[in-house]
Amino acid sequence: MQILILCCLFLVTDAVFCKNGLIRRAVATAGLSLGFGSLPVFATPGPAPWDSNVQYEVLQRAPADAPGIDKPGEMVAIKFTGSYKGQVFDDVQQPYFLRAGGGNVVKGLDDALTQMKIGDKWSLSFGGDLGFVNGKPSSPGKARIPPGGQLDFIVEIVDIPGKGDPDALILD
């Protein structure tokens, strides 16, 4: 019965938003080895590996054997689009290098990057202290973002230098 309930929860929540790792924790508590998106499932119960108020949806799932971030501060190459109320404020479609979990981008995006693998593409939504805490002033053609405004991102990890395909970042 426990396995059936967990499988149903897995199927229902796999394509929708998950908050605070409750499903991952339940699966880990049952001792099952089900994959949950690109997030790890730990064999022993404990704090969720990704305790955040970021809401996400997996748009493209990385292969199961794709490498991910082992520790915060690792260099990663991403492509992303950030928007506020449907208006794009940042659109980077060439690989952008940064240290995942290093504080180089807003906290909600930083938190999500540490959970992703090469090839993952996620839709993220967050606000409050995970976004622009002090707001973001307007710029030509871009709206002002108020402090804590709800942000939406589509982000893809295209490489983690030293772990991915060395030809993956050859630009045309």
Confidence of residue 53 (pLDDT cuts 50, 70, 90): confident
What is the rounded average pLDDT of the residues 65-81?
A: 94
The confidence score (pLDDT) of residue 164 equals 76
The confidence score (pLDDT) of residue 14 equals 36
The confidence score (pLDDT) of residue 169 equals 53
pLDDT in tens, 83-119: 999 999 999 999 999 999 999 999 999 999 999 999 9
pLDDT exceeds cutoff 50 at 61: yes
Which own/partner pairs from 14-21 qualify as long-range (CB within 8 Å, at least 24 positions apart)?
14/58, 15/57, 15/58, 16/57, 17/55, 17/56, 17/57, 17/125, 18/56, 19/53, 19/55, 20/48, 20/51, 20/52, 20/53, 21/48, 21/49, 21/50, 21/51
Confidence of residue 168 (pLDDT cuts 50, 70, 90): low
The confidence score (pLDDT) of residue 24 equals 34
Q: Which residue has the higher pLDDT, 116 or 169?
A: 116
> What is the distance of C-alpha 113 from the center of its chain?
5
DSSP string, 85-125: TTEEEEEEEEEEEEETTTTSS-HHHHHHHTT-BTT-EEEEE
Three-state DSSP state, 130: helix
Domains of the chain (ranges; CATH) run 2-47 (no CATH), 60-159 (3.10.50.40)
106, 91, 92: which is closest to 136 by C-alpha?
106
Which pTM value belongs to this model? 0.67
Mean pLDDT, all residues of the chain:
73
pLDDT exceeds cutoff 90 at 155: yes
The confidence score (pLDDT) of residue 118 equals 96
The confidence score (pLDDT) of residue 83 equals 95
Confidence of residue 139 (pLDDT cuts 50, 70, 90): confident
